[in-house]
Each structure stands twice: as C-alpha cells, then as structure tokens.
Structure 1
Amino acid sequence: MTSRFGAHECFVYITLPGQTEFVIAGRFVLEQQRGGPLGRFVYGRSYLDRPDAVPIDPVELKLGKATYRTTTQNGIFGALRDASPDHWGRRVIDKHAARVRPGEVDYLLFAPDDRAGALGFGLNQEPPTPKRHFNQTLDLQKLQDLADAFIADVEVPQGAEADQVKDLMLVGTSMGGARPKAVVEDDSDLWIAKFNRTDDPWNFARVEHAMLMLARACGIETAVSKLTTLGNRDLLLVKRFDREKADDGYIRARMISGLTLLRTDDSPQQRERWSYITLAEELRRVSAQPRHDAQELFRRMCFNALISNTDDHPRNHALIARTADWRLSPAYDLTPDTPISLDRRDLALDCGDYGRYAHADNLLSQGPRFYLEPSDARAVIAKMEDQVRATWYETARRAGVTERDCTKIAGAFAYPGFRLPLGDHE
C-alpha cells in the first residue's frame, strides 16, 4: 500500500453517528484471480470493540469478525462503490492521472474525502483530518468556467490545469451521474452545485428545481434546492442531506444507493434485478420505519412515471443513516424526459406485473408490497396525476423555466399511455 497508482488495498475510514472525525473501520483488499477480481473486507478488531460501532452496509457488510468476499462489480462491495467517484468524478481523476490508468482502489484513494456518505479511504493507519474548508458560493463562476473548459477539453496553462483538477475533484456525490458538479459552502450548509452544460436541450437547472418543487407539492420528501445565476447561466444548488454543520466540522451520515440495497450493478445483464418492488421488500427488512418508507417509495415511483423520468435508476435512490438507524433518503435527481412514444414509456426499474411500463394499472398491481391497500394506492395515483396535470406548468414557470423550455418538456407529463387500456397496448 505504498503507491496510489496500482494500489490494491486500502484502509476504510468512517465517521460515526454524531461525530466529525474519522476512525478506522477496516481494511479492503482487491486481488486479481483467474476468474476475475476478488474483493475482501474485514472490520478491525478495535472498531468492533467500540460500543458505538455501526455497520457500513446493513445487508452485505454487517458487523462481525468474518472476512467478507465479493466478485461482483469488479470486486468492489456496493457500499464502497457508492463512495467511489461517479462518472463525472472519474473523468476528472482520469485527466489528473494523465497516461496512467487508475484501478478501482485508485479511484477510492484519489477521490476527495467529501464524497457521499460517511466513508473515507487511505493508505495510513492514522485517519486523515476531515476536510474543513470548501469552495464558497462566491467561487461558483470560477467553477462554472472550469467545468466548461473541462467538458470542451480546452488546453490550459500547466499551472492552471492543476488548480482546475483540484477544484473539479470536489465532486460532492458519488450518486449524481455524469453532470458537472462541485461542492460549495455558504454561511451554514454544504451544497452540491450542478452546472448547466452548453449542449443541454433545455435549462436543466431550472427544470430540475421545478421538479423538486412539484414533487414536494405531491407530498414527496425531497432534497432542498435553490437556484442562482452566473452571468447568463443558471445553476442548481442542492443541499446535502448527508451532512450537518457542527462546531468542529460536519457530521456525516452513512449512505448506500438503491443499487447496493438490490445487491446488483450497472451492467445491462443485471437490469432484470432493478425493481421498485424488490426495493420495497428490502426497505421492509432494513428501514427503521418500513411502512412509511415503502409508501414514500411508492409515491416516488408514481411521480417518476407521471413526469416520464426515465433516469430513475437505482443510484438515484438511497438509504441514509444519521444515527444507528437506516431510512430512505430524500428524493433527488428528478428530471423529466420526452420519449417519442405516446403509448408506452418505461421507467428504469420494474414497477409492477407489466415490468417497467409507466402505466397506472401497472403501478397498482403490486400496491400491497408497499403497505398499500388497492383503494389507497388508487387514491395516491389519482391525486398525484391531478396535481401533476394541473400544476406542472405553473410550477415550472414559477421556477423561471422559459415558455420555450416549457414547450419542450410539456410532453413529459401524464403522457397518454399512462391511462391507455392495457389491452390496447398488448
């Protein structure tokens, strides 16, 4: 464990509930075997002896003396993968690494300690001091310019490139996908700044903000968001729900993605395991309030169907643990899409007896798995459908979405196939 490039093992650090300093939780080793990568994790004895020790993952990495092993996802345990950089973060790290291709452990080590959740990674038995200083909101214009230059692959002076990579590596979350982002701090909170791109088909910042507003109006628990303008560009600020300000830093909440809860991965071969119904079953096992969280997941499933959110993949769902208990996290990354088909649109996860079909009857078909009687599930869908139909436009305009962009996204909401008789589709 002496070099970051080609590293094959590391210590795993964690900040415990209510704390702001890292402690060592255990050690992770990644080995290359004839059949493929094998990952091994073991909790440290001193960590297991702590009365306040908590598991990294409530299903796959429960507290215990066993050596855990996995061959899935290139040998990376789901909870560790969730703390690894997302697509955007990996692009930045790859650029920083130049001609040397990082391995999976290198990605864990290169990412800043301000990743999603409460984990950190390092080569030393002495955990590092968590980050105390962040880009301020007044730095947003600089960060937007750097993101634009990075996307365009613009040549920059040698010294400036190092600063560029340093700034952009503050990616903020490992669950946020491919959009450029950075972490910024205002007087009291940390925010994920999500930048618009020059090639976006509409103003993503304002549209996503509007969807979060609309979801809250539909009774869904969402991340807090706000908009700011930089010159003629908008960007979205999403308050981090895995951080809480304290006198000596930030208290971190543990976090795992829906992908980890489903014990699957991103590969096309595993998509058959992507399922809202299975997520609800897992919530029944691990959530401290399973009835509330399963019903909340049902509302989010319905909302995604009603706004044609085809990007509702398992990484865009998460569990969070601010204390010892796990709960469904606030909703985030709610974005409409405008597929050509008016008869059938699919979600990313199975949502009923007819698979991924975003249809009212399909959503109803597995209502009891979400602790909902058929009449209650039917009422949830009908009320939300009325709310979306009646208020999406007004909500978007109130969020500053232009008339032109409203025209572009209008086809996303309560599309005709949502109520098409199933026999007409079959």
Structure 2
Amino acid sequence: MLAAEHWALELARAAGLRTARTRLETFGTRDALVVERYDRTEDHRRIHQEDFTQVLGIASAAKYDQSTAAPSRLAQVAATASLHSRNAAAFKSELLKAVAFNVLVGNGDAHSKNYSVLIRETGEVELAPLYDVAPTLLLYARSSNAGHSVAGQARLNYITLDHLVREAGSWGMDVEEARAGVTGILVAAAEAHASVPQRLAHLPALVAARAEDLIAGSTARRQL
C-alpha cells in the first residue's frame, strides 16, 4: 500500500494536480512513506488547514459520506469554500479534477478527512494539495466506498463520467466545461502512467484502461 500510495501521488502530480510530496524510506526493518509538509510557509510559519469535516462543522466520525440527498457534501464544500477563494470557478474546477482522479485510481478512502482546504492569513481559501491518495479498490476488491457521494452514487464501482459531470453541475459549474475538465485529467493521467515508476507492475496499465473506460462513458474495470 505504501508504494501504491506514493505512485498514485506521483501520477497525480504528473497529470497536473497539486499533491503532497512523498518518498519511500526504510527505518530499520520498517518501511515508511515520508510526507513533506505543505502547510508551512517558506519561513516555516504554519498555514491553517481544515479538512472537509471541519469546513462543514460535522463530526470526524462521519467522515464517510453515504448520503444520496441533495445537496451533496461535495456541493456544500464547493459552495462554502469557493466563496472565500481567489477564484470560485477555479476552486471548483480543481476540486472536480481531484475527485475525478480519486475515482480513476480507485481510492476508497477519499473521505472528508482526506480532502482539506488551506486558509491564508488574509482569509483566502484554497484547496490543499492532494494527500492520502491510494488505489485501494485495485488492491482490495471490497474497498468500493467512494468516500463521497457523487451525483447520488457512493460506490466506486458504479461512478461514471456522467456522475462526475452531473455532480459538478450541482455546484453551478457549466456541464460542458466540467466534462472537458474531467476528460482532460483522465487523459493526462493515462498519458503519464508509463513515466511514473511503480513496484506493483499491474497498476499503471490498469489505471490507463480505467481512464479509457470512464472517457467512453462506462464504469471503470477493476482488473485487466
């Protein structure tokens, strides 16, 4: 899982998303994923961070979103946080691409504590870099929880491009722009998959195939 998470974050960065920087290390007999802090300024001052449970004022124990009722939790975050961002449309677009990437790699742990916002001293809000991104569904078949409901669908096995576009539409995004944004990140990840080293050899080709499935409008396969 450590190697797979490191690979997923490297792939996300290669596809153009902002991510936490990680590296694999061994301490004695224990393997570890070392994560570089992104919540600090260049002069080492802390940048305030809130995960999505904190943004919405809900209990940490409720981090998995299973509700199919509108507005979705993602829509609530998009509405609340984007109002305080420098560019609301850009904030929503970045969030949509992050959600689409987590669907692509089969991240069954993309819940409300694994997305965050950063809040600057001026009060400006921005989406935090991606972190805790792992292709859990592609390693463990039972890991099919999407973490957040997407257009009423909370199971990774069943989320399609149409779900992602309809979810973005509920945030007030133009649906054609949303479709182009999702398709763009899927294409970028598929094109970058071969250039990112991976110890688990089946993952790059599988994720590229999943991108093709999603772009074609179907659900994404779990094996080649």
TM (norm. structure 1) is 0.43
Distance 1:294 1:276 in 2: 10
Match of 1:162 in 2: none
Distance 2:84 2:128 in 1: 13
| Worse-superposed segment, 260-269 or 212-221 | 260-269
Cα distance change of structure 1 residues 355 and 334 upon mapping to structure 2, 3 Å threshold: closer
- How far 1:320 sits from its partner (Å)? 1.3
* 1:375 alignment partner, SS class: helix
Structure 1, residues 230-260: CA drift from partner, whole Å, max 9, x if none?
46754322221222353xxx31111211011
* 1:330 alignment partner, SS class: coil
Aligned 8 A contact 1:227 1:234 in 2: yes
Aligned 8 A contact 1:308 1:336 in 2: yes
* 1:319 alignment partner, SS class: strand
**Structure 1 residue 289 corresponds to structure 2 residue 87:** yes
- How far 1:310 sits from its partner (Å)? 0.8
- How far 1:408 sits from its partner (Å)? 6.6
Note the aligned Cα RMSD (angstroms).
Answer: 3.2
Superposition map of 1:166-205 within 5 A: 202=1, 204=2
Match of 1:364 in 2: 165
Distance 2:36 2:75 in 1: 28
Cα distance change of structure 1 residues 243 and 261 upon mapping to structure 2, 3 Å threshold: same
Q: RCO (CA 8 Å, sep 6+): is it higher in 1 or 2?
A: 2
Superposition map of 1:97-108 within 5 A: none
Cα distance change of structure 1 residues 311 and 410 upon mapping to structure 2, 3 Å threshold: farther
**Structure 1 residue 348 corresponds to structure 2 residue 176:** no
- How far 1:328 sits from its partner (Å)? 1.6
Amino acid at match of 2:92: A
Q: Which of 212, 216, 219 is equivalent to 2:16?
A: 219
* 1:237 alignment partner, SS class: strand
- How far 1:313 sits from its partner (Å)? 0.4
Match of 2:46 in 1: 252
Distance 1:387 1:242 in 2: 27
- How far 1:263 sits from its partner (Å)? 2.5
Aligned 8 A contact 1:336 1:409 in 2: no
| Worse-superposed segment, 367-376 or 296-305 | 367-376
Distance 1:355 1:239 in 2: 31
* 2:99 alignment partner, SS class: helix
- How far 1:332 sits from its partner (Å)? 0.9
Q: Show structure 1 runs of 5+ residues with no match.
A: 1-201, 422-426
**Structure 1 residue 407 corresponds to structure 2 residue 202:** yes
Structure 1, residues 187-226: CA drift from partner, whole Å, max 9, x if none?
xxxxxxxxxxxxxxx4x1x322221121122221112223
Aligned 8 A contact 2:73 2:148 in 1: yes
Cα distance change of structure 1 residues 380 and 267 upon mapping to structure 2, 3 Å threshold: closer
Match of 1:332 in 2: 131
Match of 2:116 in 1: 318
Distance 1:371 1:230 in 2: 48
Aligned 8 A contact 2:96 2:182 in 1: no
Cα distance change of structure 1 residues 379 and 207 upon mapping to structure 2, 3 Å threshold: same
- How far 1:369 sits from its partner (Å)? 4.2
**Structure 1 residue 240 corresponds to structure 2 residue 37:** yes
Aligned 8 A contact 2:66 2:154 in 1: no
- How far 1:315 sits from its partner (Å)? 0.3
* 2:118 alignment partner, SS class: strand
Aligned 8 A contact 1:212 1:334 in 2: yes
Match of 1:46 in 2: none
Distance 2:201 2:95 in 1: 27
**Structure 1 residue 207 corresponds to structure 2 residue 4:** yes
Cα distance change of structure 1 residues 366 and 271 upon mapping to structure 2, 3 Å threshold: closer
Amino acid at match of 1:251: R
Structure whose residues are more often strand by fraction: 1
Match of 2:97 in 1: 299
* 2:132 alignment partner, SS class: coil
Aligned 8 A contact 1:311 1:335 in 2: yes
Amino acid at match of 1:282: T
Q: Show structure 2 runs of 5+ residues with no match.
A: 220-224
- How far 1:269 sits from its partner (Å)? 9.4
Cα distance change of structure 1 residues 417 and 278 upon mapping to structure 2, 3 Å threshold: farther
* 1:251 alignment partner, SS class: coil
Aligned 8 A contact 2:12 2:101 in 1: yes
Amino acid at match of 1:315: K
Structure whose residues are more often helix by fraction: 2
**Structure 1 residue 228 corresponds to structure 2 residue 25:** yes
Match of 1:308 in 2: 106
Distance 1:330 1:408 in 2: 22
Q: Which of 168, 175, 197 is equivalent to 1:374?
A: 175
**Structure 1 residue 262 corresponds to structure 2 residue 63:** no
- Identity across aligned pairs (percent)? 23
* 1:244 alignment partner, SS class: coil
